[in-house]
A and B are shown apart, each in its own frame.
Chain A
């Protein structure tokens, strides 16, 4: 069973890596790249509470609820890619002897924290402030891979002179050597379980192959993300926590695990310890992933169904059974403290009140908050965005970045466009296609560009304005107009008028002075991207005039676009 479980873990982890890897313009192929996030009922529940509607793909969450009702929290032990990563990190980081591991795998009051976090996050969602993306494991890992792991592995690979297949070969050699080394050292040390190291090697090989996929499926140059540094720090800390307590994330922090625990406590199948056979050796706890106390009163909500206990029991006294006799040998869930639950809910309410009065103006729009094309109005956007970063991963021009403080406290790690890094490509709607929650609507190029049914009404992200004190023709009489050259709309939104410029020595020159025609400008940012005034561009797009907002406007006549789906 344990080996089968490991195969599942490797398979789903590899599948997850693959799907994140192919969330890329060079690997478009109709893969179901949103699937893991759609399968995540916390995404469905959170967005449903916040937005009072369920994006169709999120119906997949029902499948996971059904599985959990039948088998308990097996998602955590068998499927969750972040859980598998923590499992692997624990095996890798935690070299404690068996007795210490038994102690480390005991239930602790700390592990109830995830339930309080879940309550707080759901209260926040009900208050229309969706923040599950901080801790939801699928969103967390998607974001970490898109923003941190892929760029860093590519950078490291390129710096080491590895390209394409050489990278794969190197990764596989490292994985193989690691596995063989572990195996050999285990044998030299006199027995033990070499199988475990084979499993580690298999997992490492899957990881290496996945990284190779990420590497070859990505841009020619490593990507750089606006303050991706903090996402990296959080990711590394989350993995390092396994050194302190095995799977601390899954046991104490994961709100998704808490949700599955609350469902799984009613599960029909469960671990059953035969008290007749139990000799009380506690070997079943050595590799216990969930800290569910299989040697005593089983805590059903904490059990990942990892089967380690079943595998370890020398007496064969542990089985996984359908509706085992209720002999008082198990408890459905830990005792949650009512005062703490109320406290968590209160914190959620306070969060909502706090961000409403001091967390950024979600109604009026902020200059720097330029959302991807097809994004819903800001309030609705924040009710749906789970900060997974899939749009950042797929954006071919790397225009989309995780916000730090730009979009207010609520908007941490939500996608914003930074045109210095890249412009929004006119014939591209990939960000909406990969968005699992419809925060960015999946639109057609025709809608984006104002063709066909949408004739004359393109999706506007904002409006470009000249900074005449910095623009070369305006400020210095030097010919330029790169902005006009790259403006992708037809007719161009940037035009020039000839004007006489008097130089310092009194000589005169005629230069073309560029202007923006706001009727034509869609705020794509091509001009800002290419402006030669490097540090602070002389033409910049701000969000005013964005199609999605009824408030963030400047003209009398332009009404907002009604979302069509």
Chain B
């Protein structure tokens, strides 16, 4: 029996459906690839927003309070407490609930006796006094030149910080962001920004040591440890870069560790013979004055340091640290 005219042959329906499917698939591939190509063609990454800037963490000191104090002795905690008391105590800088970021110099994977890193005793004392003043958290970080785990381990900074209630943050690549520096040399650079998202106070804990290019590595040079990749190009204009770093970071407080002085072969040292006991600790809010004082601790003339002249000219502080009239306290 022949099919009625007008009736649909089931086979034909199937063929038609198959035809439509294939045409639709081909069309979708053409449209999809063409659309994707047109969308991607000449596409540029979205313009980055304005670069972040580092806020100031400085606190205003009432008139009459010295901007710097010196303590001598052998017990780091007693020295730090005595020096801070001359400035009104740690409570003037750190209040209850603060998240304090401590920046010791942990640049190298070396034991404390070689004088290349901030003394663990000073780090421990600073963490303890911050906690005592009510800090909710005390973060301790640095971006070492050597391997971070090894540097924090062998310098014993990790153990000292954790024993006093601090948290050590080892920098990871994703903790760095490019920020605006707008210095005389550095316009923008990768910066260890992650801890700054929570920190409310920043305290520098440099150690006093010789440096082959800048004369000494002290408070200003210590901020080098906040910067990321490509730092090894800084040395082509080291003095201007150090001044830029001083202008970039406005800390709450700086504690200069002069308990061990790396007198020569800096900034790495390498022999205990290069290190001299210093029995000194200086605290203050004038980084330039602290650096000038540090130069004298190391037996050098601060007037001969080009970076200090640049920093002073930019209004970051005074090289004439004596003009601040720092109390010089002897402890135990």
Contact = CB atoms under 8 A, between A and B. Distances in A.
Contacts of A489: 270
B115 to A, nearest CB: 11
Contacts of A220: 148-149, 170-172
25 contacts: A25-B147, A25-B153, A219-B149, A220-B148, A220-B149, A220-B172, A221-B173, A396-B109, A397-B146, A425-B150, A426-B110, A427-B110, A427-B111, A472-B236, A479-B237, A480-B235, A480-B236, A485-B213, A488-B110, A488-B270, A490-B268, A490-B269, A490-B271, A491-B270, A492-B270
A489 B114 CA distance: 11
A427 B271 CA distance: 12
B215 interface: no
Contacts, number: 91
A371 to B, nearest CB: 20
Contacts of B170: 220
A491 B230 CA distance: 26
A25 B171 contact: no
Interface string A420-442: 00110111100000000000000
Contact of B274 (A219, A487, A490, A532): A490
A481 interface: yes
A485 B109 contact: no
Contacts of A491: 265, 270
A530 interface: yes
B273 interface: yes
Given A472-B236, A490-B273, A425 B109 contact: yes
Given A472-B236, A482-B232, A530 B145 contact: yes
A484 interface: yes
B267 interface: yes
Given A396-B147, A396-B149, A490-B270, 6 more contacts: A25-B147, A25-B149, A425-B109, A426-B270, A480-B236, A488-B268
Q: Which of B147, B233, B269 has the largest count of A CB atoms less than 10 A from its CB?
A: B147
A192 B34 CA distance: 52
Interface in B110-160: 110-111, 145-150, 153-154
B299 to A, nearest CB: 17
A550 interface: no
Contacts of B307: none
Contact of A485 (B148, B172, B233, B267): B267
Interface string A68-87: 00000000000000000000
Contacts of B174: 158
A-B residue pairs, 10 tightest by C-beta: A490-B270, A490-B271, A532-B232, A396-B150, A220-B170, A490-B265, A397-B147, A482-B232, A532-B233, A26-B149
A265 B274 CA distance: 65
A490 B113 CA distance: 14
Interface residues of A, number: 33
Interface in B162-187: 170-174
B211 interface: yes
A492 B212 contact: yes
A312 interface: no
B108 interface: yes
Contact of B213 (A472, A481, A531): A481
Looking at chain A's contact residues, the main secondary structure is loop
A428 B154 CA distance: 10
Given A25-B150, A220-B171, A428-B109, A482 B265 contact: no
B34 to A, nearest CB: 32
Interface string B217-249: 000000000000010110111100000000000
Nearest to B171: A220
Contacts of B150: 25, 396-397, 425, 428
B109 A427 contact: yes
A422 B109 CA distance: 13
Interface residues of B, number: 35
Q: Which of B149, B211, B238, B269 has the largest count of A CB atoms less than 10 A from its CB?
A: B149
A347 interface: no
Nearest to A530: B232
B135 to A, nearest CB: 23
A487 B110 CA distance: 13
A492 B146 contact: no
Q: Which of A426, A490, A491 has the largest count of B CB atoms less than 10 A from its CB?
A: A490
Nearest to B272: A490
Interface of A: 25-26, 158, 219-221, 396-398, 422-423, 425-428, 472, 478-482, 484-492, 530-532
Contacts of A481: 212-213, 235
Contacts of A422: 147
A481 B237 CA distance: 11
A27 B212 CA distance: 34
Contact of A484 (B172, B212, B233, B273): B212
A482 B212 CA distance: 9
Contacts of B145: 486, 530
A486 B270 CA distance: 10
A268 B111 CA distance: 56
B235 A482 contact: yes
A484 B149 CA distance: 23
A26 B153 contact: yes
A158 B237 CA distance: 36
A423 B147 CA distance: 9
Nearest to A476: B236
A274 B262 CA distance: 81
Contacts of A490: 265, 268-271, 273-274
A104 to B, nearest CB: 40
A556 B153 CA distance: 41
Contacts of B171: 220
Nearest to A451: B271
Contacts of B273: 490
A85 to B, nearest CB: 28
A428 B110 CA distance: 10
Contacts of B274: 490
A320 B41 CA distance: 71
Nearest to A398: B147
A489 B110 CA distance: 12
B232 A531 contact: yes
Interface string B248-277: 000000000000000001011111011000
Q: Which of B213, B230, B271 has the largest count of A CB atoms less than 10 A from its CB?
A: B213
Contacts of B154: 427
Contacts of A480: 235-236
Nearest to A218: B149
A398 B170 CA distance: 16
A349 B111 CA distance: 50
A485 B236 contact: no
Contacts of B172: 158, 220-221
Contacts of B235: 479-482, 485, 532
Interface in B204-218: 211-213
Contacts of A531: 232
B149 A479 contact: no
Nearest to B116: A488
A220 B148 CA distance: 8
Contacts of B108: 488
Q: Which of A221, A487, A488 has the largest count of B CB atoms less than 10 A from its CB?
A: A488
